[in-house]
Structure 1
Amino acid sequence: MNFAEAAERHPEFARELPAFVVAVREFFTSSELHAEFARLELEPAQPGFDTTATHSDLEDDVFIDSPEVVLDQAARFETIRLLLLADHLGIS
């Protein structure tokens, strides 16, 4: 996730993202990647987050990410998930 975030901000990381994805795919089996993403999808986006907290309870919590940050993280997670689980990457 850190590499993908850096790729969004720095062209040199963006150019290296395909090679990074290939390296990860060579290190882990498809089954291992599927299992890890299945596990991650079951975890809360913010561990320890109180789902019963009210909006006013959350306003003062500096450790809770904003909705925008959470959406960015979710989009990045989905992009990486799709890249790592794709049958064919389409790169050479």
Structure 2
Amino acid sequence: MTTHPLSDNVVKCRLVKKIQDSVLSKWVNDPQRMDKRMLALIFLAHASDVIENAFAPLNDDDYEVAMKRVRELLDLDFEAESAKPNANEILWAVFMAFTK
């Protein structure tokens, strides 16, 4: 999938850092407790085939941890997640559509 590059490198660097932090130092191990915008950014970066680019600057161990955690998110049962109390059903439906 072709993506459009961000022309503002400062914004791009901030987004990359946020994605890295969300799956490394700020990992909460419960997608229901994750910031919904960050969760959406992770799924959209994966669907756009640019998530690996965000993790490329990481050392090998951090890269493996980050990709493992993204894989855990992608492998979730989205229907089960949407059925949990206080879950946003539409958000999980969109995630399901982007991962098919």
Q: Does the TM-score normalized on the shorter chain lie above 0.5?
A: no
Q: Which has more radius of gyration?
A: 1
